[in-house]
Amino acid sequence: MQPWPGYVGKDYSAAQELMEDEMKEYYSKNPKVTPVQTVHVGQLLAVNAEEDAWLRAQIISTDENKIKASSVLSSMRAKNTGCVCYVDYGFCESIEKSKAYRLNPRFCSLSFQATKCKLAGLEVLNDDPDLVKVVESLTCGKIFAVEILDKSDIPLVVLYDTSGEDDININATCLKAICDKSLEVHLQVDAMYTNVKVTNICSDGTLYCQVPCKGLNKLNDLLHKMEDYFHCKHMTSEYFISLPFCGKICLFHCKGKWLRVEITNVHSSRALDVQFLDSGNATSVKVSELREIPPRFLQEMLAIPPQAIKCCLADLPQSIGMWTPDAVLWLRDSVLNCSDCSIKVTKVDETKGVAYVYLFTPKNFPDPHRSINRQITNADLWKHQKDVFLSAVSGAVSSPGSRNGNTPAPGSPGEGLRKSHPEVIRKPLLDHTSSFSLEELPPPVHLSKSGEHMDVYVPVACHPGHFVIQPWQEIHKLEVLMEEMILYYSVSEERHIAVERDQVYAAKVENKWYRVLLKGILTNGLVSVYELDYGKHELVNIRKVQPLVDVFRKLPFQAVTAQLAGVKCSQWSEEASMVFRNHVEKKPLVALVQTVIEHTNPWDRKVVVYLVDTSLPDTDTWIHDFMSQYLVELSKVN
């Protein structure tokens, strides 16, 4: 199964519409143009299609007087028939030869607007008729963003539906849609379930549980077979993940077991986020710690639905409100990873995928007055403390010592920092301050002397009077540091700290952790921070600010404020600033240093430089010359 996406946008759709209008004008009003007499496979044609439209097509096969076709999907299995494929739309149909005309070369200049592709993660299910139906229903006639993973003759892609508030991964949606429905867990209202295992508890009180069922039994059986398979077979490179992408299902070794995970976010070529399908946990891991599911088990493994069931405790008093750390910790201590709990279902919300339950430990089942729901209403657990917070994703799993021997290399930034899940949740008030001093700062980043060149990258550019450079030779070290910060802070419990202005911290911005300077504290729970390695100013929740531990204070801060030399202007217009940004931002350039202005604080250093774009093969572009010429032209216009 290989879908045919077509390109959209002003550079594609408008050009195609114009070409088709010109084709209609040419073939409808030119009496000298006649249908083709002889045809052959691979020949390009102009076809008079429905509603008097003229479309480009290519012959796939022929038969006497007809050029036959079925559909795009079934034509792959047809024998002794012929078909044409409309190269700008990707569909096929049967046509009479009388409707087929030679394609004039003037209509060959525009690239074919539809291309065959493969959906990543679905290759093993290529011939599944149910998958074909699901893909057709989710994709045909719709507009998607496409992530190209492999630019081969038939590209490997991930499709995203970006029409709503959240982007939807179509590949992952298709996988979930074709799971074996007989292996799903369907909780019934008022039913009791025993031998339930609580696998994860989030900071908002949400539970993830495993309920004994056919699907869980089959999953455990398959995982046991894979353990034996890997134990008997030498682990070769074919099982390492060479092409990670969001929605991919693979394996992660934790605490002596292989577990199913889905990649949810790719930070870089080394670090990514995963969701444990059968426990509800989430964490950040290294790509090298993941493994492919062996081909002999892959189809069966993909057919088993996720075995983690999302639950909430039912009938908690409205007065409880937001969960406190004490309440969450009490719940974790009481039931987390207990495999013989029981639940009674009171409500199932299909739209949210949540079951509301009464939860019992073995010794209290089935007395409703001794349920976890009743015990947790103890008022002492709900006294809000201003100095304690828990992470939103409590179930981070990270156990370097149990990952099939995949421990961080000695001396690497992550060595000795990443804790296993139990260590994290048992020590929410772990004192990080003992591992660093607020006075300890890395040495200033090395800059070339006046008159010397240096390779730089410009992450941020406001205007020629203010932009930020990073030393190009340090970029890789910074990427490694960022990856290690993601891996470390994803498994460290968030805690409230008494923040101070002009001090250095770690802060989470979107999905990444940055080294920041705290610039200001707002009254609405937000703080203003300056990214010390990228030069950007951001507003973040104060709960996302954490101590910057010693190991992340070694690499010099990479962002250096800069000013363009060789051009004079007291105030830059928005238009001029935009022109400058378009030429330098997010680009590697060469800087000729004119002046270095030192300062005791590394983030207050400044450098005045000439910038040179050397990306063109035959000429170097000096940015100050370009901006000077632009100012001259602008003054003439004004």
- pLDDT tens, 186-204? 999 999 999 999 999 988 8
Residue type, 10: K
| Residue 439, pLDDT score | 54
Q: What is the CA radius of gyration of the chain?
A: 31
More confident residue, 85 or 345: 345
More confident residue, 569 or 476: 476
| Residue 440, pLDDT score | 82
Q: Looking at the DSSP assignment, which residues form a beta bridge with residue 517?
A: 504, 530
Kindly report the average pLDDT of the chain as a whole number. 83
Cis amide prior to 35 (ω within 30 degrees):
no
Tell me if 252 sits within 8 A of 240, measured CB to CB: no
Least confident range of 18-27, 42-51, 76-85, 522-531? 76-85
| Residue 508, pLDDT score | 93
Q: How many CB atoms lie within 10 A of CB 38?
A: 7
Q: Which of 340, 368, 68, 122 is nearest to 210 (CA)?
A: 340
Which domains, from first to last, does the chain contain? 13-107 (2.30.30.140), 118-178 (no CATH), 182-419 (2.30.30.140), 560-637 (2.40.50.90)
DSSP strand E in 226-334: where? 249-254, 257-266, 271-276, 282-286, 290-291, 309-313
- In this structure, the strands spanning 466-471 and 453-463 are antiparallel
Residue type, 579: V
**Structure pTM?**
0.67
CA distances to 200, 294, 307, 540 from 397, in Å: 10, 23, 17, 25
Structural tokens at position 424: 């994290």
Q: Which of 456, 451, 455, 452 is nearest to 469 (CA)?
A: 456
Strand, helix or coil for residue 185: coil
Q: How many CB atoms lie within 10 A of CB 120?
A: 22
User: Which pLDDT band holds residue 236 (cuts at 50, 70, 90)?
Assistant: confident
Q: Which residue has the tokens 């409880």?
A: 320
- pLDDT tens, 414-471? 443 343 333 333 333 333 333 444 458 999 999 999 999 999 999 999 999 999 999 9
Percent of the chain with pLDDT over 90: 48
The number of angstroms, rounded, from the C-alpha of 344 to the middle of its chain's C-alpha atoms is 36
The number of angstroms, rounded, from the C-alpha of 422 to the middle of its chain's C-alpha atoms is 27
Residue type, 230: F
Res. 387: pLDDT tops 50: no
Residue-wise DSSP of 384-444: --TT----S-TT----GGGSTT-PPPTT-TTTTT---HHHHHH-TT--GGGG--TT--PPP
Burial class (CB in 10 A: 0-12, 13-18, 19+), 633: exposed
Sign of the dihedral defined by the CA atoms of residues 161, 164, 169, 175, in that order: negative
Q: What is the 8-class DSSP label of residue 135?
A: H
Mean pLDDT for 146-170 is 89
Biggest CA pair distance of the chain: 92
Q: What is the 8-class DSSP label of residue 188?
A: -
